[in-house]
Structure 1
Amino acid sequence: MLDQIQHRISGRALSAVTIFFAANPTVSIAADIELFKGGTVSAQAKASALYDDNIYLQDTAPISAWLTVFTPEISVAVESEKVSFSSSAVSRIGSYPGGERASFKDYLGSADFRWQPMSTLGLTASGRYSDANQRVNADESMQLNPVIEAERVISPEAEIGLVASTPSKRSQIKYSIGSESQDFFGEERDFDNDYTRLEISYRLTPRVILTAESSNSEITYKDVLDRDALDSEERGIFVGATYDLPKTKITARYGKSEKNFASATRETRSVPVWDVGLDWSFRTYSGFKLNFSKTVRESLGQAGFIESSSGALSWHHQWTSKFQSNFAYSQAKGEFSGIDRERALRISGVSLQYLFADTCFLGAGFTSTRSDDELNGFEDISVERNEIFLSISGPL
C-alpha cells in the first residue's frame, strides 16, 4: 500500500501540470536522460499562438487579441530501493503582439519525496507552487471552482506525512501536516490554511479498498479589517471505497464538513460533501474520465463559504499511431452561504494532436468558457470567453 501513496503523489504532480494549462492541452514526448543509476531528467517545450476574444474576462466590452505563448518544462526523477524523488517545473510566457495587454509569466512547480526506512514505515514530503495571471480551470481531481479569477493568484503549499502499514500491506494509515496559502490580486481576500489529515485504508478484496479520512483546517485571513468575520476552523470526516478493475476504476466518498467561524455573528454550519469518479479505459487507445462532486470552498469575502457542486467529463482517443484527440466538459454551481447569490461556470474544449518527426506534436483546438452570476434572483454578471489555438511541442 505504501507504493500506492507514491503513485498517487506522482500522479498528482502530472495532473496539476496538465490542468494548469488546460486551455491548450498537448501531449508531448520528452527525452529522458539518465544522470546516474535511478536518476533521470527530461525537458520539453511548447510554442502556441492563441486567439482570445476576452483577454480580461470582462462582463462588458470584452477585448480580443492574439497572443503567443512559450511553455518550457523540466522534470527530474530519482528512484532507489528506499528513496524516491520527483519534481517538475513549468513556465508559461505570454506576449500580446498588438500590445492589448502586458506580457505575463506563469509558473508551476511540484516536488515529491518518499523515504521508506522499513517495509512497514515511510515518510513523505511534497510541495506545490503556482503563480498564474488568471485561474479558470478545474483542479487536479477534476473539481471545478465556480469562482473564476481574472487577476493573478499565487498558491504555495507544503505537506509532510508519516505512513505505516501492516506487513501484508493490507491496512495502511497516514498522518499528514500541511500548510497552503492563497494570495489574490485583491489582498483583502488572502488567506492561509494550516491543516492536519488522518487517512486510513483497508484492502477488503484484491479489487476493493475501503477508506476513512478525518481532517482539520485552521483558515486565517491576512488583510481583512475584521478578521474574525472570516477566520474559521473547518472539520471534515469522510468514508469511501475504490473498486479497481483492469480497465475501470470507480471511486466514491461521502462525508460532512463543519465550518466554525471565530465570529459570533456567523453560525456554525455542517454541510454534506461527496465525490464520485469513474476512470474507464475501454480500449488501450481510448478512455473516459467522469467526476461528480460537492464540496465547500472559501467565498469572495462576504458570504460565509460557498457550497460548490461540479461535474466533469473528459475523453481521450488515439485514432492512429500519430493522431489523437481530447475532449473535456466541466460545469460547476456555487451557492453562497448567508447571502442570496449563485454563480455558475461552464467550460468545454476540444484539442487535436499530430505526431511528426517521431518526437514532436502539432496541435490545434478551442475552449469555451461562460460564467453567470445571480444576485437576489437577478442576473448580475455574465462573462464569456472563446479561445482558438495552434501549437507545436517536443523535447529539448
Structure 2
Amino acid sequence: MTTEEFTITDTPLEEQCIALTSGGTGGHMFPAVSLARALVRRGAKVVFFTDARAARYTENLEGVTTIQLPAGGIAGKGLRGRISGMLRLALGTWQARRHLKKIRPAAVIGFGGYASIPATVSAKGLHIPMAIHEQNAVLGRANRVVAKSATRIATSFPEVRMISEGDKPRVIWTGNPVRPEIAALANAPYLAPEADGPVNLLITGGSQGARILSEILPQAIIRLPDDLKRRLHVTQQARAEDLDEAAKTYEGSGIDVTLKPFFDDIPERLRDAHLVIARSGASTVAELTVAGRPSLLVPLPHAIDDHQRYNAEQVEQAGGAWMLSQERFTVEIVSERLAKLLTGPSALARAAEGARTAARANAAERLADMVVEMLGLNPAGAPVDLKQKTPHVQGDLA
C-alpha cells in the first residue's frame, strides 16, 4: 500500500481504531478533540497520542484512550534546547512506534505541534494511512515534516501557504472545528446596530501579547464622539495585571464597560457583538467566521512564520474583517477607525456576511467523513462492495 491511494477495507468503522495525535496547545487540541468526539459518535475507538501538557484535554473523553509521549520543541530554541527537543522527539518516536505496532490503528490523523511528530512519522514507517490537519493559513513546521507522506492534508482555510505544488492534489478544505456553542451561532443572524441604538463592542485577547490591546483600546475608545460613547457597551478581556490600568482609563468616560480576565459566556457575547477586536489565532478566526461576526484583527507580530497575519489576510480578502498591523495600532489610528466602523451599519453587515463565506460549517464532521473515505468505507462507516470499489485517487475529495 502507498500513500497515493486510500485503504480498501471490509471492516466497519465500529470495529476499527483511529489514532489521533496533537501538540499540547489549545489551538491544536481543540480540533483534535472535536474529531475524536465525532469518530466516537460514529462508533470508532480512538487512541490519542500527545504530551503531558495536553492530557487534561482528553481526561473525560468517553471512548478515548490517551497515551502520553515525550516531545520537545525546536523552533526558537538555543542549541541546548534544540538538542534536548530532538532527543525527546527521538524517544517519543520510538515509543509511538512501539504503541502503534501493538494497537495497529486503521489510520493516524495528526493536528500539528511537535508532540504530533512521533506518531505521524511512525505511521509512515509502519505503512499506516496518515493524514494531517492544519489550523492556520501557513502549514505548521511539524506538519511540514510529514506532509509528503500524508494521504490527505486537511486545511482550515481555502488557501494555505507552504504546501508544495506536488502536495496540493491531496488537500481538502474541511475548516477548523469550533465548540458546539459557537457552531450554533452559524444560524444566528447578524443584526447591525440601529441609529441611536446600542452598539456592542467585544474585545478579546490571546494569551500572547494581549497587553497592547489593553493599553491602546481604552485610550482610543474614550476619544470617540460623545453621542457614540453614550450608545457603546464594551466587553473587554484583559490580563489580570492590566485590569486596574484599563479601568482607570475608562473611569469617568460614561461608557458601559465590563472588564474581566476571562469570560465564561463568550458565545452569548459573540452572538450580540456588532464588532469584535481580537488577535488572529486559528481558533479565534474559526469562531468569528463560523459565527459570522465582523472583526478588526490585530495579528501577533512575532507568531511563528507570521501565521496570524496570513490568517487575518484570508478573512480580510473574503470581506469579513479589517486587518490592522500592531505597528499601526496607535491610539489615533484606532480611534478614527472605530468611529468609522461603529457608525457604519451597512459596512458591518457586509463584513458579517463576508465572514460567513470564509467559514466551513460542520468541520468536525467533514474531518470524520475524510477519515471514513480514507478507510474505503461508505459515509455511514460500513464496508463497500470490494468488487465494485476502486481506490480513491488523490484529489477525489478536493
TM over 0.5: no
The TM tier, using the shorter chain, reads under 0.3
- Structure with a larger share of its residues in helix: 2
- Structure with a larger share of its residues in strand: 1
Which has the higher relative contact order, 1 or 2, with Cα contacts under 8 A spaced 6 or more apart? 2
